[in-house]
């Protein structure tokens, strides 16, 4: 797909992403390394391009979910540490080993598989651990930690232990302090059982913003925080026309015009990641003005109210802003009843991604 063929455009400012990481690193201080989480194709922004820019500007530790995601990062970050947050399973061992990917294990079964693979090769393999400190999502439970410490696996060298905060977006939540205490206790037990120390990572995006540096540990793992104010989505204006009072707009006739209006049709719909939940309540920016979505968002098209915008301006308008300028991404997501993570990761493949880097737009 070329820019000329596309109906919508996602502009990704790589310079802004790199600057976000630099700012986070300055906030975290010299004792903590600011890594980068690039799972889900760097939150839909293109892992290869984002990883290349972050590596160029000094990032040397990355996290993805799957091994195939890790290989994309490895292709542009030759000597970086790349951790796999989903661990590893049978059939992916060679891919991990050949690309120097380090699995983060969250279950005893995963650890047993990697231990067996190490014994088969007659090698000591790198590994990391995820311990559950109260999120009840993924990670070794307290009972799992007991079993691990009773018989530490052979042939594995654990270089990192991580956990994940459930309520870091609420600085006053007592859950944060409880998880910090649980993490520190688990790490103390693991260090004693293994007989050596390892690096620690507890804070992700929201944890990296907590004012208490005890949460930062050795490595922070920001994801969405890297992309603040670095993305903008625009869609083509396909048509502009006048409609009479009494006409209805879109499937289901959910919006009836109570007066004559001027409507504009945008080349974006729920197949592209424009949420259907924004039917009759979303906003876009057209000719510098915020205008409402009328009717249901359909698969490929969205209709907005262009009443009051002069014809000459509308004829000159090539695109409308969906988010990223006058409509911040978080505001757009909140209006859709979701979060910025979901908006970015749901953006479709029909959207053309263009990058701004030190060399300009490309």
Task: Give the residue among 10, 31, 112, 105 at the shortest CA–CA distance from 324.
Answer: 10
pLDDT band at residue 212 under the 50/70/90 scheme: very high
Number of domains in the chain: 2
Last residue of a domain, one of 198, 227, 256: 227
Q: How far apart are the first and last CA of the chain?
A: 14
The span from the CA of 104 to the CA of 130, in Å, is 6
Q: Is 244 a catalytic residue?
A: no
Known active-site residue 355: no
217 and 311, same structural domain?
no
Q: Residue 112 belongs to what domain range?
A: 31-227
> Alpha-carbon distance 216 to 179, whole Å?
13
Mean pLDDT over residues 125-129, rounded? 98
3-state secondary structure of 235: strand
User: In the predicted model, what is the mean pLDDT of residues 222-232?
Assistant: 96
pLDDT digits (tens, 9 = 90+) for 46-66: 999 999 999 999 999 999 999
The DSSP bridge partners found for residue 131 are 140
Residues 251 and 179 in one domain: no
Mean pLDDT in residue range 186-190: 98
Cα 4 to Cα 270, 318, 321, 353: the distances in Å are: 21, 12, 18, 12
Pick from 7, 51, 37: nearest CA to 268: 7
In the structure, what pLDDT confidence band is assigned to residue 1 with cuts at 50, 70 and 90?
confident
Residue 67 CB partners (closer than 8 Å, separation 6+):
84, 88, 92, 95, 96, 99, 101
Instruction: Based on the fold, state whether residues 217 and 235 are members of the same structural domain.
Output: no
Report the 10 Å Cβ neighbour count for 171.
Answer: 12
Nearest to 238 by CA among 218, 216, 213, 268: 268
Residue 89 lies in a domain: yes
In a domain, 15, yes or no: no
Question: Which tens digits make up the pLDDT trace of 234-244?
Answer: 999 999 999 99
In the set 39, 52, 217, 261, the catalytic residue is 39
Please indicate, yes or no, whether residues 332 and 349 belong to a single structural domain of this protein.
Answer: yes
**Claim to verify: residue 183 and residue 48 sit in the same structural domain:** yes
Whether residue 307 is contained in a domain is answered as yes
**Which is catalytic among the residues 120, 171, 251, 281?**
251
What value does the mean pLDDT take over residues 29-48?
A: 97
Q: Is residue 320 part of a domain?
A: yes
Domain end: 227, 249, 269, which one?
227
pTM assigned to the model: 0.94
Query: What CATH number does the domain containing 250 carry?
Result: 2.40.37.10
pLDDT of residue 359 exceeding 60:
no
Q: What are phi and psi of 38, to 5 degrees?
A: -120, 25
Say whether both 108 and 173 belong to one domain.
Answer: yes
* 177 plus 255 within the same structural domain: no
The pLDDT value given to residue 358: 65
């Amino acid at each position: 797909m070329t820019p000329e063929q596309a109906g919508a455009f996602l502009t990704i400012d790589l310079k802004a992403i790199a600057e976000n990481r630099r700012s986070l690193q300055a906030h975290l201080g010299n004792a903590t390394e600011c890594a980068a989480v690039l799972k889900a194709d760097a939150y839909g922004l293109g892992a290869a391009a984002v990883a290349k820019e972050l590596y160029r500007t000094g990032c040397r530790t990355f996290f993805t979910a799957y091994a195939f995601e890790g290989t994309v990062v490895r292709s542009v970050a030759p000597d970086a540490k790349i951790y796999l947050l989903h661990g590893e399973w049978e059939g992916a061992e060679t891919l991990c080993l050949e690309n120097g990917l380090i699995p983060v294990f969250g279950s005893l079964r995963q650890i047993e598989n990697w231990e067996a693979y190490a014994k088969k090769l007659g090698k000591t393999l790198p590994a990391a651990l995820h311990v559950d400190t109260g999120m009840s999502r993924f990670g070794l439970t307290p009972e799992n930690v007991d079993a691990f410490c009773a018989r530490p696996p052979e042939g594995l060298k654990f270089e990192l232990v991580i956990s994940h905060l459930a309520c870091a977006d609420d600085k006053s939540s007592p859950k944060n302090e409880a998880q910090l205490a649980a993490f520190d206790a688990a790490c103390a037990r693991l260090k004693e059982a293994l007989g050596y120390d390892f690096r620690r990572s507890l804070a992700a995006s929201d944890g990296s913003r907590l004012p208490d540096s005890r949460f930062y540990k050795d490595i922070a793992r920001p994801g969405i925080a890297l992309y603040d104010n670095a993305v903008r989505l625009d869609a083509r204006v396909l048509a502009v026309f006048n409609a009479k009072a009494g006409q209805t707009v879109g499937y289901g006739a959910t919006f009836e015009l109570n007066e004559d209006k001027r409507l504009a049709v945008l080349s974006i719909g729920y197949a592209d990641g424009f949420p259907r939940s924004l039917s009759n309540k979303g906003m876009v920016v057209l000719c510098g003005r915020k205008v409402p979505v009328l009717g249901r968002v359909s698969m490929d098209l969205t209709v907005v109210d262009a009443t009051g915008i002069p014809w000459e301006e509308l004829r000159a308008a090539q695109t409308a802003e969906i988010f990223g300028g006058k409509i911040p991404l978080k505001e757009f997501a909140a209006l859709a009843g979701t979060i910025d993570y979901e908006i970015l990761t749901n953006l479709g493949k029909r959207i053309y991604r263009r990058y701004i880097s030190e060399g300009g737009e490309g």
